[in-house]
Structure 1
Amino acid sequence: MTTHTRLTFHGPLSSARADAIVGRLSANRPRTVLDIGCGWGELLLRVLEAVPEARGTGIDLDESDLARGRRAAEERGLAGRAGFLAESARDTAHGPADLVLCVGASQSLSDADCPTAEALRSLRGLVADGGRVLLGEGIWERTPTSAELAGMWPGAATSDHLTLPALLDLAVASGFRPEWTETATLPEWDHFESAYQADQEVWLAAHPDATEVRDRLDRHRAQWMSYRGILGMAYLTLVPVQR
């Protein structure tokens, strides 16, 4: 069974928003790009296409995603400038870089239940002065009720995420200034969640006795319906304050 073939990005990010983000980031002409928790590295590859002099490194622990990234780099003529490495982001030796991407991957930099603060401290050490960090971070659009939390992921708590104002304050306290702030729209979330399961849903329709797959899909859909419109995603372009 193939999965995730309808996903361009592993998160609620439209191609139009991604192109606008890449346009802003590429204007700074980064020479080195580091993608933390890169997955298949679509955003990294788009930056490299926009900045021909740049070289990029994506690090992740998922070998299947990394293999997809390497194939895409080869197909787009970027294999000589893009590396996809299977390694932990903790204590990575690949910084400082002119541009650091960390989109939905702050947990790669911290074991904390809410990893944002530690991740921001690590990101400040991974970006060069004059560079940029793109942080994609889950936020609460509003405080969820106890009943709503009970329907989300196991052990979901209000402390799992910050609000957008609190996230911005934390970024500033961690040594950054926010150059650009934006949040995912509900249509972007719906596209992502639908595409995340679409391949498996079509397969299940042809294999209705696959109870394990059906239970997993139904469980995820119920969780999505519990956090839909409550869990958001912020995309912050951050400038490091020079030390």
Structure 2
Amino acid sequence: MSREQISMIAHAGHPIKSPLDDHSVSRLLEHGLPRGDERVLDLGCGTAEWLLRALETHPHLRAEGVDVSEVALTQARRAAGELGVGERLDLHRQEAADFVSAQAFDLVISVGATHAFGGLLPTLAAARKHLAPGGRVLIGESFWGCEPSPAAIEAFGDLADLATTVDHVVADGWTPVHGHVSTRSELDSYEWACWGSLASWALDHPADPASAQALETATVARSQWLHGYRDSFGFLCLVLRQTPETTGK
């Protein structure tokens, strides 16, 4: 079973692939879409859940998503058709960092996908290239809430703390106009949902050759979370606008 297949099963019960509940997602979109008729781009959209929710609640909005996974994009197209928003959604299969468009976008989203660009600031640099004047960026990034264990660092790398993460964003020429730090409930619910869904699939498909791998993956991942990074890992979402003196950066 590929990592892509594992991810699809693990997120079956939590389609937003980040530790955010539905209310938090809605609030972030509200702050990112003040008019409701914006053009929206999601860099690293996966199954395009952010775009689908925005399109469903804003009938005058148009959206584009970019991802390397044809499986995820196929699921997104199917969901868009079922919701009746397919005509307002364009999806592109390619590396998000390589995406080029003649259009400028009022909102650029990249939540939990900064690894595709090599980090937080390179992601913001990519978003800036696509941003229309006065536009906004909705970005999600991990941080250390307290001193991480060696196991946590091995899993997630060299993250900054919350204050330093925001300081880096501001120093790069952005002004936060809204933010959300995932709560303990959101963080825990996400982990339980992912590894519970994967374990349930394995138990429900004992004859499948991949069931043993899926169950082992869920067991190992749950243990790494509980013993390694649960107490130190944090997740931050920011809605950003460009600071005026750096608009031409």
| TM-score higher than 0.5 | yes
**Is residue 2:194 matched to residue 1:193?**
no
> Closer, same or farther in 2 for the Cα pair 1:139/1:30, shift >3 Å?
farther
In structure 1, list runs of 5 or more residues that go unmatched: none
Q: CA deviation at 1:8?
A: 2.6
Question: Is 1:70 aligned to 2:86, yes or no?
Answer: no
> Deviation digits for residues 20-71 of structure 1, max 9, x if unmatched?
1122222144521100110111111222233322210111111221111111
* Residue of 159, 170, 192 corresponding to 1:172: 170
**Structure 2 Cα separation of the partners of residues 192 and 149 of structure 1:** 17
Pick the aligned partner of 1:232 from 222, 229, 234. 234
- The one-character-per-residue Cα deviations of 1:159-190 (angstroms, maximum 9, x if unpaired) are 2x121111111111222111112111111112
Structure 1 consecutive aligned stretches of length 4 or more whose deviation exceeds 4 Å: none
Contact 2:24 2:180 in 1 (8 A): no
Equivalent position to 1:124, from 122, 128, 143? 128
SS class of match (1:90): helix
Q: Provide the secondary structure at the position in 1 that maps to 2:218.
A: helix
Greater shift, 137-146 or 196-205, is seen at: 196-205
Higher helix fraction (1 or 2): 2
**CA positional deviation for 1:81:** 0.3
Q: How far does residue 205 in structure 1 lie from its aligned partner after superposition?
A: 3.2
Contact 1:6–1:198 (8 Å) recurs in 2:
no
Asked whether the 8 Å contact 1:140–1:164 carries over to 2, the reply is yes
Identify if the C-alpha distance between structure 1 residues 143 and 96 changes in structure 2 by more than 3 Å, giving closer, same or farther.
farther
Written as runs of structure 1 = structure 2, the 5 A alignment for 1:60-209 is: 60-94=67-101, 96-110=104-118, 115-146=119-150, 148-149=151-152, 153=155, 156-157=156-157, 159=158, 161-206=159-204, 207=206
List alignment gaps of at least 5 residues for structure 2.
Answer: none
Give the 3 Å change call, closer, same or farther, for CA 240–30 of structure 1 in structure 2: farther
Q: Deviations over 1:203-226 (max 9, x none)?
A: 333539954333222211111111
Q: Is the 8 A contact 1:129 1:240 kept in 2?
A: no
With normalisation by structure 1, the TM-score equals 0.87
Percent identical among aligned pairs is 29
Contact conserved, 1:22 with 1:50, CA < 8 A, in 2?
no
* Conserved? CA contact 2:202–2:212, under 8 Å: no
Q: Give the structure 2 partner of residue 9 of structure 1.
A: 16
How far apart are 1:98 and its partner, in Å? 0.7
1:46 has 2:53 as partner: yes
Aligned length: 233
Query: 2 CA distance for matches of 1:54 and 1:232?
Result: 31
For normalisation by structure 2, the TM-score amounts to 0.85
Q: CA RMSD in A?
A: 2.1
SS at match of 1:119: helix
